Chain A
Amino acid sequence: AQSVTQLGSHVSVSEGALVLLRCNYSSSVPPYLFWYVQYPNQGLQLLLKYTTGATLVKGINGFEAEFKKSETSFHLTKPSAHMSDAAEYFCAVVNQGGKLIFGQGTELSVKP
């Protein structure tokens, strides 16, 4: 069965610093992987997705993620954090039945 583990329920960075949010998955089939962001009192917004092809995926707002099959990882990065990046981030994998399986989420804080 597919599952997702996000390391760190809360990450704090300074403005301008590197953002690294970790996601590991387990899947018995080639995975479809997603990162979503949720701002307070809002729904989820897609940041980026990996289905097939290039393993380095670029998303919106300067985020990118790299699919590493050997490490079963799909970590999210951004070179320079902005105050507006403060939100909760969810990694997700689609299982064979089409269900989105989410990680527990990582809350990102950005200090001025």
Chain B
Amino acid sequence: KAGVTQTPRYLIKTRGQQVTLSCSPISGHRSVSWYQQTPGQGLQFLFEYFSETQRNKGNFPGRFSGRQFSNSRSEMNVSTLELGDSALYLCASSPQLAIQETQYFGPGTRLLVL
């Protein structure tokens, strides 16, 4: 099976802009989770989607949002970008809800905000 794919791999934006990142889970996986990785804060959970519904949310401002489509593909959106949003954004998929499932990670999208 193909692994988790994320597009784009690299992105440069300026402050105030918005960005949309895409994640295609492993075929048959219904749960998609998003994480932000920065040198200072490490890996932090953003949210989890399952069956097109947000099931779990981390401690991020409302500028961070996401959605999941009927084919389980997911997008996350960050509006009004700030310099601190520069990070590696990782998507992970699992067959069912993530609570005891192994999550399989994509290669990430590296976002640089100037």
Contact = CB atoms under 8 A, between A and B. Distances in A.
Interface of A: 32, 34, 36, 41-46, 49, 51, 90, 92, 94, 96-105
Main secondary structure of the interface of A (DSSP, over half): strand
Given A44-B90, A99-B48, A105-B42, A94 B107 contact: no
A79 B55 CA distance: 40
Contacts, number: 57
Contact of A43 (B45, B90, B99, B102): B90
Interface of B: 4, 33, 35, 42-45, 48, 55-56, 58, 90, 92, 97-100, 102-108
Contact of A100 (B33, B97, B108): B33
Main secondary structure of the interface of B (DSSP, over half): strand
A28 B58 CA distance: 19
